[in-house]
Structure formats: structure tokens, C-alpha cells
Chains A and B, each alone.
Chain A
Amino acid sequence: MDLEANRNLIAAALGRIPSGDRGALQTVYRLTSAKLFGVALRILGERSEAEDVLQEVYVTVWRKAADFEPDRASPMTWLIAIARNRAIDRLRATRRTRNAEPIEAASDIADPAAGADQTLVGAQDYARLHGCLDELAGRERAALRGAFFDGNTYEDLAGRMKVPLGTMKSWIRRAMIKLKACLER
């Protein structure tokens, strides 16, 4: 199945959930749970916690499917956001920092060459984002990575990169505004 077929299948199944169709939720789960489990596992680092979060994610999908607007959002964006939010909530509730290893501010963290999988997240969208991330300073990109993939807070990132909190906020905000401008070009 290619990207568009998957996207249509997931969106259509999400559309049937509000009428109480359990099979539709199972379809969404079958198509997306491995990706969302990967997302939760990456943020939480522990399988049993990621499993709990994954369960919360799909129960949330069941309850909130009526909020998904296929004309306004891609189903994977919507699902990934739910998974990241639930995983981050869990991380914050446990009051631990999952990844606190120092990040060398000067280092330009190489991004994996493997790139994006093609079946759920579009290679084109990925390449576009990647191109814009490449335009950021290495330290800005490293800070964004820590936030997106490790669920780091401003405080965590300031600690990991050994800069004052205000500096970190400034880096992140500058990175976000550059990213937005680049993606809108």
C-alpha cells in the first residue's frame, strides 16, 4: 500500500469511529500502532510505559475521532501529535528526564541517512522539513531534536547544552521562526 492509499484508509476509518465502529478503530490501530509505539518508546525509553501510553492514545482516538477534520489535517499528523502529547504528559508526570546526556552545542548532529519511511509519513514532506532543518545552526537543530525526539523541556535542554535558560529559549524561538519561514517559502 502506498502513502496515499494508507492515508485515505486511515482517514476513512477515523470517520467511522464516532458511530461506534470498533472495527474502524482496529483498522486505525493495525495501520498506525507500530509507528505510534515507536514514537512513545523514543520519548519514554521504557517498553511498559510506552505500552500504557499507546493504550491511552487509542482510547483517546476512540473518544476524540469526531474532532479529526480530514479537510484540515492529515491523519498521521493528528495521530502523531496525540502520541507525542500523551508520552510527554507521562514523562512530565514521572518527573524524570529521559535523556539528559550532554549535547555538544557546537556539534552538528548528523541526521540518520535512512530518511523517512514512505508508507505513513510522506518522503516529500520529510525532505522538505529536512531541507529547512539543514538551514538552522547546528546548536539550534540539536535543541529542536532534543525536544522533538526526547521530550526535553527548556530546562532539560539548557542543562544538556550547558547554556542559561534564557539562551536556550532564544535559540529555540529563533529556530522555530526560521523553520516556519523556510517551510512557507
Chain B
Amino acid sequence: MSDVVDHNGLPEDEWLAAEYALGVLTGAERAEAARRVASDRSFASMVAAWQHRLAPWAGEIEEVAPPPHVWDAIAAALPAPRSAGLWQNIVFWRGFALASALAAACLAVVIYLGTLGGTQPLVASIEGGGKRTFVATVDTRRGTIAVVPAAFTADATRVPELWLIPADGKPRPLGLLQADRAVTIPIPAQLAGQTVSDAVLAVSLEPPGGSPTGLPTGPVIGTGKLTSL
């Protein structure tokens, strides 16, 4: 009796979808299910619904950082980019050298002012991919944040946007940055209390005008923690 397969009233298609999503099928049955996912929209939706039910289980699986050569192999397998890479671009390197010098000078001035003044400025070196992209200094007395570009080159279609990530981990938009000059942004009053030591600044690339959602939508190109001098 226990060998009887209990169909429990689900249509045969849905069983196939469930078994495919769970992964128990083999050979021809698995191949048939995969083929139908690609060709039959209603079947694909059933599979997606089962994947949605089961996926939270993967929360139990521990994250394991893959070795760096995996990304290199993926990048090599992609079609070649349309234009010459950043690293081959001499203009980029000139700009990089200039911007780095400017950022270092800015940092030196800030440190000097910090030792002079009575206020406690905060600084953050915003870094990503092994490069310092921007340097930010917070003037807590005036309630402003000044951001100087370092190793950052303009993107043809996107603009850099600055985010404050306070202790609660939620990014708050601070404003758009410029690739070729420093900008000073007034800190919104409701964020003043959260613009403190150990809060994180992040820069992401966004559509012109900034993120339409109020959260970063593009790649984060650098982050840095605010520290007092």
C-alpha cells in the first residue's frame, strides 16, 4: 500500500514543476522539464512559484567566498567591452595622478585645520576596488560635508551619488558629486545626529539626476567610515 503514489489532487504539470524545482528528477524527465521552462510560460511560472517557496531554505547555507580566479574566468568569458578599458587610458592616468595629489593636499589641510579649530571635523576616505575614489570631510559646526574627487573618472551615462549609511544600515541620499571638482553638500537636519564617527559614506553610480528610488540603484564604487581626527 505504501508504494502507491499519492497525487493529492495537484495537476500532473504542477507535480513536474515542483519536482523540477526541488531537483529530484533525472535524465529524460529533468531534460523535459528544463525544455518546458524555456518554451511554456505557464509551466515556467509554476516552477518559479516553487523556487520561491523553497529558496529561503538557502538562508541556512553558509556563505563561502570564491577564489579570485573565478571572477577572472567569468570576465574572460564575456564578450569584449566596446571601448578601450580604463586601465589603458592615458587621460585617466593623468587625471588619477592629479586627483590623488589634490586629495592628499585636501586631507593635509583638513588635518591642519582640525588641529587648530575647536570643532571636531570628521573625514572619510571613500575607497573601492583598491582605489580611493573620493575624500569627504564633515564640518560638524556648519553642518556641511565637502567631497573631493580622487581616483574617479566621469562615467558617460551615470553620475556619482553620495550616501550616508548610519548605524541602522539604511542608505540615505546626501547628494550628487562631481568628477572634476569638490562639492559642498548641506547635511539634512534629520541626518545631522547620524553623521557621526563610524557612520559609513558610500558612493554609487546613478542615472543623471540621482537615484530615482531613494536607495542606491547602481554599483557602489566606494565606501569609507567617518573618523574624527
Contacts and interface: CB of A to CB of B under 8 A. Distances in A.
Interface of A: 1-2, 4-5, 8-9, 12-13, 16, 20, 22-27, 29, 33-35, 37-39, 41-42, 51, 54-55, 58-59, 62, 72-74, 76-78, 80-81, 84-85, 88, 92, 111-112, 114-117, 120-123, 125-126, 128-129, 133, 144, 147-149, 151-155, 157, 163-164, 166-167, 169-170, 172-174, 176-177, 179-180, 183
Classify the secondary structure of A's interface with B. Answer: helix
B130 interface: no
Contacts of B40: none
Given A41-B64, A152-B24, A173-B7, A5 B215 contact: yes
B51 A77 contact: yes
A81 B55 contact: yes
Nearest to B200: A1
B62 A8 contact: no
Nearest to B6: A170
A5 B61 contact: no
Contacts of A155: 26
Contact of B18 (A116, A123, A176, A183): A176
Interface in B56-108: 56-67, 69-71, 73-75, 77-79, 81-82
Given A37-B66, A39-B58, A13 B219 contact: yes
Given A167-B3, A169-B5, A173-B6, A59 B74 contact: yes
A26 B169 contact: no
Nearest to A42: B61
21 contacts: A23-B205, A24-B219, A27-B218, A29-B74, A33-B71, A34-B66, A35-B61, A38-B63, A58-B74, A81-B21, A85-B34, A115-B60, A120-B59, A125-B59, A129-B53, A148-B22, A148-B23, A152-B24, A166-B4, A172-B19, A173-B6
Interface in B110-141: none
Contact of A34 (B65, B81, B168): B65
Contact of A77 (B2, B34, B52, B69): B52
Interface string B21-59: 111111100100010000000000000100111111111
B213 interface: yes
B28 to A, nearest CB: 12
B48 A26 contact: no
B2 A167 contact: yes
A170 B22 contact: no
Given A115-B60, A173-B5, 20 more contacts: A5-B171, A5-B215, A12-B216, A13-B218, A22-B78, A37-B63, A55-B74, A73-B48, A73-B52, A77-B48, A88-B23, A117-B59, A148-B23, A153-B25, A154-B25, A154-B26, A164-B3, A174-B8, A176-B18, A177-B9
